[in-house]
Amino acid sequence: MGNFLYLIPSIFTAGNMFCGFFSIIMTIKNNFELAGWVIIVAILFDGLDGSVARLAKKQDFFGTEFDSLADMVSFCVAPMVLLYKQVLNNYNMPGIVIAFIYVLFGSIRLVRYNVFVIKEQLNKNLFFEGLPTTAAAGAIVSISLLLSALGLDYVRKNIVFVVVPIVLKFLPGIIIIISLLMITKLRYLSFSRLRFNKKVTLKMFTIIISSVLLIFAYPESTIFLVFGIYVISGLVDYLVRMYKIKLIKAVTKQS
Protein backbone atom coordinates (compact mmCIF):
# COMPACT_ATOMS: atom_id res chain seq x y z
CA MET A 1 0.00 0.00 0.00
CA GLY A 2 2.87 2.34 0.84
CA ASN A 3 4.46 1.79 -2.58
CA PHE A 4 1.11 2.50 -4.26
CA LEU A 5 0.78 5.81 -2.38
CA TYR A 6 4.31 6.65 -3.48
CA LEU A 7 3.36 6.08 -7.13
CA ILE A 8 0.12 8.12 -7.17
CA PRO A 9 1.77 11.59 -7.42
CA SER A 10 4.11 10.28 -10.14
CA ILE A 11 1.12 8.95 -12.10
CA PHE A 12 -0.39 12.45 -12.15
CA THR A 13 3.01 13.88 -13.12
CA ALA A 14 3.23 11.38 -15.97
CA GLY A 15 -0.27 12.46 -17.02
CA ASN A 16 0.95 16.05 -17.05
CA MET A 17 3.93 15.11 -19.24
CA PHE A 18 1.75 13.08 -21.59
CA CYS A 19 -0.58 16.06 -22.05
CA GLY A 20 2.38 18.25 -23.00
CA PHE A 21 3.67 15.65 -25.45
CA PHE A 22 0.19 15.10 -26.90
CA SER A 23 -0.26 18.87 -27.29
CA ILE A 24 2.93 19.06 -29.37
CA ILE A 25 1.67 16.23 -31.60
CA MET A 26 -1.68 18.00 -32.04
CA THR A 27 0.13 21.23 -32.91
CA ILE A 28 2.13 19.41 -35.59
CA LYS A 29 -1.20 18.18 -36.98
CA ASN A 30 -2.54 21.78 -36.94
CA ASN A 31 -5.23 20.95 -34.36
CA PHE A 32 -4.47 24.10 -32.37
CA GLU A 33 -7.68 24.17 -30.32
CA LEU A 34 -7.20 20.64 -28.94
CA ALA A 35 -3.49 21.31 -28.39
CA GLY A 36 -4.40 24.30 -26.22
CA TRP A 37 -7.05 22.56 -24.13
CA VAL A 38 -4.74 19.60 -23.51
CA ILE A 39 -2.25 21.99 -21.87
CA ILE A 40 -5.07 23.25 -19.63
CA VAL A 41 -5.63 19.60 -18.61
CA ALA A 42 -1.88 19.36 -17.90
CA ILE A 43 -2.23 22.32 -15.53
CA LEU A 44 -4.94 20.41 -13.65
CA PHE A 45 -2.71 17.32 -13.46
CA ASP A 46 0.13 19.46 -12.13
CA GLY A 47 -2.09 20.81 -9.36
CA LEU A 48 -3.27 17.31 -8.47
CA ASP A 49 0.17 15.69 -8.24
CA GLY A 50 1.34 18.24 -5.68
CA SER A 51 -1.87 18.01 -3.65
CA VAL A 52 -1.79 14.20 -3.64
CA ALA A 53 1.90 14.19 -2.66
CA ARG A 54 1.17 16.46 0.32
CA LEU A 55 -1.82 14.38 1.40
CA ALA A 56 0.12 11.13 1.09
CA LYS A 57 3.19 12.78 2.69
CA LYS A 58 5.29 11.44 -0.17
CA GLN A 59 7.09 14.61 -1.26
CA ASP A 60 10.72 13.86 -2.17
CA PHE A 61 13.48 15.04 -4.48
CA PHE A 62 12.63 12.44 -7.12
CA GLY A 63 9.07 13.74 -7.31
CA THR A 64 10.29 17.33 -7.45
CA GLU A 65 12.71 16.63 -10.31
CA PHE A 66 10.19 14.49 -12.21
CA ASP A 67 7.57 17.21 -11.83
CA SER A 68 9.99 19.83 -13.19
CA LEU A 69 10.79 17.70 -16.23
CA ALA A 70 7.07 17.26 -16.91
CA ASP A 71 6.53 21.01 -16.45
CA MET A 72 9.35 21.72 -18.90
CA VAL A 73 7.54 19.72 -21.56
CA SER A 74 3.99 20.87 -20.81
CA PHE A 75 4.44 24.49 -19.73
CA CYS A 76 7.63 25.63 -21.46
CA VAL A 77 8.03 23.74 -24.75
CA ALA A 78 4.45 22.79 -25.68
CA PRO A 79 2.89 26.30 -25.34
CA MET A 80 5.65 27.87 -27.44
CA VAL A 81 5.50 25.17 -30.12
CA LEU A 82 1.76 25.87 -30.27
CA LEU A 83 2.01 29.66 -30.46
CA TYR A 84 4.98 29.50 -32.84
CA LYS A 85 3.05 27.30 -35.27
CA GLN A 86 0.01 29.55 -34.94
CA VAL A 87 1.56 33.03 -35.12
CA LEU A 88 5.25 33.47 -34.32
CA ASN A 89 6.46 31.70 -37.48
CA ASN A 90 5.26 34.81 -39.35
CA TYR A 91 8.08 36.77 -37.64
CA ASN A 92 10.74 34.42 -39.09
CA MET A 93 13.98 34.40 -37.00
CA PRO A 94 12.76 36.96 -34.41
CA GLY A 95 9.79 34.65 -33.78
CA ILE A 96 12.16 31.77 -33.02
CA VAL A 97 14.19 33.98 -30.66
CA ILE A 98 11.06 35.16 -28.81
CA ALA A 99 9.83 31.56 -28.44
CA PHE A 100 13.25 30.47 -27.14
CA ILE A 101 13.35 33.32 -24.60
CA TYR A 102 10.11 31.99 -23.10
CA VAL A 103 11.45 28.40 -22.98
CA LEU A 104 14.78 29.57 -21.50
CA PHE A 105 13.24 31.74 -18.77
CA GLY A 106 10.68 29.04 -18.00
CA SER A 107 13.48 26.51 -17.46
CA ILE A 108 15.33 29.00 -15.22
CA ARG A 109 12.13 29.45 -13.21
CA LEU A 110 11.81 25.68 -12.71
CA VAL A 111 15.45 25.31 -11.64
CA ARG A 112 15.12 28.19 -9.17
CA TYR A 113 11.99 26.61 -7.70
CA ASN A 114 13.85 23.31 -7.18
CA VAL A 115 16.70 25.14 -5.42
CA PHE A 116 14.18 26.68 -3.00
CA VAL A 117 12.65 23.25 -2.38
CA ILE A 118 16.07 21.78 -1.57
CA LYS A 119 16.67 24.65 0.86
CA GLU A 120 13.20 23.98 2.33
CA GLN A 121 12.21 27.61 1.90
CA LEU A 122 8.78 26.94 0.35
CA ASN A 123 7.06 24.74 2.91
CA LYS A 124 5.16 27.53 4.68
CA ASN A 125 5.46 30.29 2.10
CA LEU A 126 2.10 31.50 0.81
CA PHE A 127 3.70 33.08 -2.26
CA PHE A 128 5.73 31.93 -5.23
CA GLU A 129 8.72 34.02 -6.23
CA GLY A 130 8.13 34.89 -9.85
CA LEU A 131 5.26 33.88 -12.10
CA PRO A 132 4.80 30.06 -11.95
CA THR A 133 5.31 28.24 -15.25
CA THR A 134 1.78 26.83 -14.98
CA ALA A 135 0.29 30.34 -14.93
CA ALA A 136 2.63 31.50 -17.71
CA ALA A 137 1.58 28.53 -19.84
CA GLY A 138 -2.07 29.21 -19.02
CA ALA A 139 -1.69 32.82 -20.18
CA ILE A 140 0.02 31.75 -23.41
CA VAL A 141 -2.53 29.02 -24.10
CA SER A 142 -5.42 31.38 -23.38
CA ILE A 143 -4.10 33.59 -26.20
CA SER A 144 -3.92 30.56 -28.48
CA LEU A 145 -7.49 29.58 -27.61
CA LEU A 146 -8.71 33.12 -28.37
CA LEU A 147 -7.07 32.91 -31.79
CA SER A 148 -8.60 29.47 -32.42
CA ALA A 149 -12.02 30.72 -31.30
CA LEU A 150 -12.20 33.22 -34.17
CA GLY A 151 -12.87 30.36 -36.55
CA LEU A 152 -15.56 28.68 -34.46
CA ASP A 153 -19.21 29.10 -35.38
CA TYR A 154 -20.54 28.90 -31.82
CA VAL A 155 -18.44 31.74 -30.41
CA ARG A 156 -20.58 34.71 -29.43
CA LYS A 157 -19.55 38.34 -29.92
CA ASN A 158 -17.74 38.69 -26.62
CA ILE A 159 -14.24 39.48 -25.44
CA VAL A 160 -12.73 37.33 -28.20
CA PHE A 161 -13.44 39.85 -30.93
CA VAL A 162 -12.36 42.81 -28.78
CA VAL A 163 -9.11 41.38 -27.41
CA VAL A 164 -7.66 39.39 -30.31
CA PRO A 165 -6.64 42.37 -32.53
CA ILE A 166 -4.91 44.02 -29.55
CA VAL A 167 -3.18 40.79 -28.52
CA LEU A 168 -1.94 40.12 -32.05
CA LYS A 169 -0.56 43.66 -32.32
CA PHE A 170 1.50 43.38 -29.14
CA LEU A 171 2.05 39.58 -29.05
CA PRO A 172 5.89 39.57 -29.12
CA GLY A 173 5.98 42.10 -26.27
CA ILE A 174 3.36 40.16 -24.28
CA ILE A 175 5.40 36.95 -24.57
CA ILE A 176 8.60 38.69 -23.47
CA ILE A 177 6.82 40.29 -20.49
CA ILE A 178 5.40 36.91 -19.40
CA SER A 179 8.87 35.39 -19.81
CA LEU A 180 10.48 38.10 -17.67
CA LEU A 181 7.80 37.77 -14.97
CA MET A 182 8.84 34.13 -14.47
CA ILE A 183 12.34 35.14 -13.37
CA THR A 184 11.43 38.22 -11.31
CA LYS A 185 11.03 38.24 -7.54
CA LEU A 186 7.43 39.40 -7.73
CA ARG A 187 5.07 37.55 -5.36
CA TYR A 188 2.35 35.30 -6.73
CA LEU A 189 -0.17 33.68 -4.44
CA SER A 190 0.10 29.91 -3.95
CA PHE A 191 -3.48 28.69 -3.59
CA SER A 192 -2.35 25.20 -2.53
CA ARG A 193 -0.78 26.61 0.65
CA LEU A 194 -3.72 28.75 1.72
CA ARG A 195 -5.55 27.83 4.92
CA PHE A 196 -9.21 28.84 4.77
CA ASN A 197 -11.68 29.43 7.56
CA LYS A 198 -15.35 28.62 6.93
CA LYS A 199 -16.25 32.13 5.79
CA VAL A 200 -13.36 32.38 3.32
CA THR A 201 -13.95 28.82 2.12
CA LEU A 202 -17.56 29.69 1.25
CA LYS A 203 -16.43 32.73 -0.73
CA MET A 204 -13.74 30.71 -2.50
CA PHE A 205 -16.23 27.95 -3.28
CA THR A 206 -18.61 30.54 -4.78
CA ILE A 207 -15.79 31.99 -6.91
CA ILE A 208 -14.78 28.53 -8.14
CA ILE A 209 -18.35 27.56 -9.05
CA SER A 210 -18.89 30.89 -10.82
CA SER A 211 -15.63 30.46 -12.74
CA VAL A 212 -16.57 26.92 -13.81
CA LEU A 213 -19.97 28.11 -15.05
CA LEU A 214 -18.35 30.96 -16.97
CA ILE A 215 -15.84 28.56 -18.51
CA PHE A 216 -18.70 26.44 -19.82
CA ALA A 217 -20.55 29.52 -21.12
CA TYR A 218 -17.55 31.47 -22.48
CA PRO A 219 -14.59 29.05 -22.33
CA GLU A 220 -11.94 30.98 -24.28
CA SER A 221 -12.80 34.37 -22.77
CA THR A 222 -12.95 33.10 -19.18
CA ILE A 223 -9.65 31.22 -19.42
CA PHE A 224 -8.03 34.38 -20.80
CA LEU A 225 -9.43 36.56 -18.00
CA VAL A 226 -8.55 34.11 -15.19
CA PHE A 227 -4.90 33.75 -16.20
CA GLY A 228 -4.63 37.40 -17.22
CA ILE A 229 -5.78 38.57 -13.78
CA TYR A 230 -3.34 36.19 -12.06
CA VAL A 231 -0.42 37.41 -14.22
CA ILE A 232 -1.25 41.05 -13.41
CA SER A 233 -1.76 40.28 -9.69
CA GLY A 234 1.98 40.05 -9.07
CA LEU A 235 2.53 43.53 -10.48
CA VAL A 236 -0.41 44.94 -8.50
CA ASP A 237 0.89 43.35 -5.29
CA TYR A 238 4.32 44.90 -5.88
CA LEU A 239 2.90 48.39 -6.50
CA VAL A 240 0.67 48.18 -3.39
CA ARG A 241 3.60 47.08 -1.21
CA MET A 242 5.85 49.85 -2.58
CA TYR A 243 3.09 52.40 -1.92
CA LYS A 244 2.71 51.18 1.68
CA ILE A 245 6.48 51.34 2.23
CA LYS A 246 6.49 54.89 0.85
CA LEU A 247 3.66 55.88 3.23
CA ILE A 248 5.46 54.35 6.22
CA LYS A 249 8.66 56.25 5.34
CA ALA A 250 6.70 59.49 4.99
CA VAL A 251 5.00 58.99 8.38
CA THR A 252 8.36 58.11 9.97
CA LYS A 253 9.98 61.31 8.63
CA GLN A 254 7.11 63.44 9.94
CA SER A 255 7.36 61.89 13.40
The predicted-structure confidence for 207-250, as pLDDT tens digits, reads as follows: 667 767 777 777 888 888 889 999 999 999 999 999 888 888 77
Q: Output 125 or 98, whichever has higher pLDDT.
A: 98
Domain membership of residue 21 as a residue range:
2-254
pLDDT over threshold 70, residue 186: yes
pLDDT of residue 132: 95
Average pLDDT, whole number, for the chain?
Answer: 83
pLDDT of residue 1: 47
Q: Could you give the number of structural domains in the chain?
A: 1
The whole-number average pLDDT for the span 64-71 is 90
* Kind of pairing between the strands at 187-189 and 127-129: antiparallel
- Angle value at C-alpha 236, between 244 and 104, nearest 5 degrees: 125
pLDDT of residue 181: 96
pLDDT over threshold 90, residue 4: no
**Tens digits of residue pLDDT in 105-138:** 999 999 988 887 666 555 556 788 899 999 999 9
The whole-number average pLDDT for the span 167-195 is 88
Which of 2-11, 152-161, 183-192, 236-245 reaches the highest mean pLDDT? 236-245
Assign 188 a pLDDT band (cuts: 50, 70, 90): very high
- 207, 49, 71: which is closest to 137 by C-alpha? 71
pLDDT of residue 249: 79
How large a percentage of the chain has pLDDT more than 70?
A: 78
pLDDT of residue 90: 93
Residue 154 DSSP code: T
Paired with 187 in beta bridges are 129
219-224, Cβ contacts within 8 angstroms, sequence gap of 24 or more: 219/145, 220/142, 220/145, 220/146, 220/148, 220/149, 220/155, 220/160, 221/146, 221/158, 221/159, 221/160, 221/163, 223/40, 223/138, 223/141, 223/142, 223/145, 224/142, 224/143, 224/145, 224/146, 224/159, 224/163
Q: Could you tell me if 234 and 181 are in contact, meaning their C-beta atoms sit under 8 angstroms apart?
A: yes
CA separation for the pair 26, 36 (Å, rounded): 9
Assign 10 a pLDDT band (cuts: 50, 70, 90): confident
- Angle value at C-alpha 103, between 100 and 109, nearest 5 degrees: 140
The whole-number average pLDDT for the span 9-19 is 91
CA separation for the pair 204, 210 (Å, rounded): 10
Q: What is the CATH number of the domain that holds 95?
A: 1.20.120.1760
Residues 6+ apart with CB under 8 A from 156: 218
**Tens digits of residue pLDDT in 131-178:** 999 999 999 999 999 888 776 555 555 556 677 888 888 999 999 999
